[in-house]
Structure 1
Amino acid sequence: MTAPPSYSPDALLDFERRTIKLDERSKVVYVAGTGPAVIVMTEMPGISPQVARFSRWVRDAGFTVFMPSLFGQDGAVPSAEEGVAVFKRACVSAEFRALEAGSASPAIAWLRQLARLAHQECGGPGVGAIGMCFTGNFALSLMLEPATLAPVVCQPTLPLDAPGAVGLPDTELAAIRHRLEAEDLTVMGYRFEGDKWCTAQRFQAYAQALGPRFVARVLPDSAAHPEPPPFFKQVVASPHSVVTAHLIDEAGQPTLDARDEILRFFSQRLQWGGFPAA
């Protein structure tokens, strides 16, 4: 039987809270661990305890986590109403362009520079990146930064008004596909079968744009945690967050297997002597 959840705020005290200025813009970034860098980009409505938990798993697997604060209150468990307010602000923000198909968000330029900085600081073959929900396709955009070698897109939801689109300009998608093929790289993608925010159309668009370089994993709805935090239960209202809010932290659960596969993927690409994903 799935353990009942306990949702409490996370003070993030085991992360170093850094203010990083790039391209004349400063953002708070939570950093922890040693080894090659992985950029963990939070889902809506912010760095929740579940997003921080995933970052700790990445850290404990032998990586340096860079977790930028992009929206919301860091470490909080927002109510459904608070989460909706964060979501609405992000949707109208020029930084994210949530409603524009075929147009990369301006926030991407800053995140690419963060990937470059993280690689310079941490070394290794390159950098990993995982985007979730609102930031899902950001991980794909980071492939235009040569340091990024291991992109993971979890339940990508942008652009909101085009469920069958990837949300990047065609020229960028062509450049990314060329790089994936030239360097023998892959993009891992995860979603729940019944996710109403990241539909089958979305993954079809990724497959069309990237071909066999896009490796899709679709989990059954029955694998989702039945009691996610309030925003996810009341607003998202469908299985959605594969490795965070809807993950069941029990051996043999498909969501935990997905987490382990992602960690193996990072190991394969970023750690000398890493082993291939299953």
Structure 2
Amino acid sequence: MAIKRGQRDDPLDDFVRRDVSVDGAAKTVYVTGTGPAVILMPEMPGISPDVARLARWMREAGFSVYLPSLFGVDGAYPLAEARETVVRRACVSAEFRAFAGGGASPVVGWLRGLARLAHTERGGPGVGAVGLCFTGNFALTMALEPAVIAPVVNHPSLPLDDPGGLEIGDEDAAAVAGRVTRDGLTVLAYRFEGDTWCTGQRFAAYRALLGDAFDGRVLPAGAANPDPPPFFRDVVGSAHSVVTAHLVDEEGHPTVRARDEILAFLAERLGTRQPE
């Protein structure tokens, strides 16, 4: 059977593979680019070719991208089998809190340390944090690190058992709201209409916490790529990944406009110039 374009693993050979330790815990981080730093967190089931493509777009826009390996096989094309081999394992991992009532995932503390390191290495006014799906809300809780000044929350799916919940404890929620008041922090967010993993109830909860500082944008479900990789077609099952698996790479397409809006948001806050 012929392999369709894009249905192959990504070797990630244009990234520098680093082992980064934070508070004694080491993780693999793929780094590329120059300029202010952006921490790009992978979506389920890992650093897919579409996530790597987003990192390259960020690099081309003038950012240093730090792409941590948090789950799955780095560079792997997302197959439906990952539900059993990756998703179930992450849901019971001590690093993640996939269900309501547990507050923020412990791995976010490590990611805040990565943001501090990236800011030290790359300079500039601060660091961007872009979360996707399982890591979507991590971009918000990373904002408890003062170096993080540009959080982007894409189709956050946690907690899995509460469509109107936020993966954050009361104390952390109050601290993030304090940054909104004190520092003028704003949060950019995206979802598709009808997404069963990231609902309108969840966006309403963000709005209730952050007020006008939450810029939640909703794309029509019909704008999603109708032929995503098998994991997204067979496991996710609805329009979900706005700037990765469900992006349609055509000029002027709503998903490409969303990508460009994210790049512009990061550029405005981190002080880079967008390419002509």
Q: Quickly say closer, same or farther: Cα 1:5–1:101, change in 2 above 3 A.
A: farther
Shift of 1:25: 0.4
Where does 1:47-62 land on structure 2 (aligned, <5 Å)? 47-62=47-62
Alignment match, 2:152:
152
CA contact (8 A) 1:101 1:166 kept: no
Where does 1:85-234 land on structure 2 (aligned, <5 Å)? 85-101=85-101, 103-234=103-234
Determine helix, strand or coil for the equivalent of 1:143: helix
In the alignment, the residues of structure 2 paired with residue 214 and residue 248 of structure 1 have an alpha-carbon distance, to the nearest angstrom, of 25
**Which has the higher mean CA deviation after the structures are superposed, 259-268 or 174-183?**
174-183
Alignment RMSD (CA, Å) = 1.2
Using structure 1 for the length normalisation, give the TM-score.
0.95
Shift of 1:94: 1.2
Where does 1:6-45 land on structure 2 (aligned, <5 Å)? 6-45=6-45
Q: Which amino acid aligns with 2:82?
A: E
In the alignment, the residues of structure 2 paired with residue 101 and residue 139 of structure 1 have an alpha-carbon distance, to the nearest angstrom, of 19
Shift of 1:35: 0.4
Determine helix, strand or coil for the equivalent of 1:115: helix
Shift of 1:11: 0.2
Summarize deviations over 1:99-144 as a string: whole Å, max 9, x none.
1335111101100000000000000000001000000000000110
In the alignment, the residues of structure 1 paired with residue 93 and residue 208 of structure 2 have an alpha-carbon distance, to the nearest angstrom, of 29
CA contact (8 A) 2:196 2:238 kept: yes
Q: Quickly say closer, same or farther: Cα 1:218–1:5, change in 2 above 3 A.
A: farther
Q: Which amino acid aligns with 1:198?
A: C
In the alignment, the residues of structure 2 paired with residue 49 and residue 6 of structure 1 have an alpha-carbon distance, to the nearest angstrom, of 8
Using structure 2 for the length normalisation, give the TM-score.
0.96
Determine helix, strand or coil for the equivalent of 2:91: helix
**Which has the higher mean CA deviation after the structures are superposed, 182-191 or 95-104?**
95-104
Alignment match, 1:237:
237
Alignment match, 2:72:
72
Summarize deviations over 1:11-40 as a string: whole Å, max 9, x none.
000000000011110000000000000000
Shift of 1:174: 1.3
Alignment match, 2:261:
261
In the alignment, the residues of structure 1 paired with residue 222 and residue 230 of structure 2 have an alpha-carbon distance, to the nearest angstrom, of 19
CA contact (8 A) 1:5 1:227 kept: no
In structure 1, list runs of 5 or more residues that go unmatched. none
Summarize deviations over 1:199-255 as a string: whole Å, max 9, x none.
111101111111110001000001100000000000100000000000000011100
Q: Quickly say closer, same or farther: Cα 1:133–1:49, change in 2 above 3 A.
A: same
Shift of 1:5: 4.7
CA contact (8 A) 2:32 2:66 kept: yes
In structure 2, list runs of 5 or more residues that go unmatched. none
Determine helix, strand or coil for the equivalent of 1:131: strand
Q: Which amino acid aligns with 2:44?
A: M
Shift of 1:41: 0.2
Determine helix, strand or coil for the equivalent of 2:65: strand
Q: Where does structure 1 differ by over 2 angstroms across 4 or more consecutive aligned residues?
A: 82-85
Determine helix, strand or coil for the equivalent of 1:235: helix
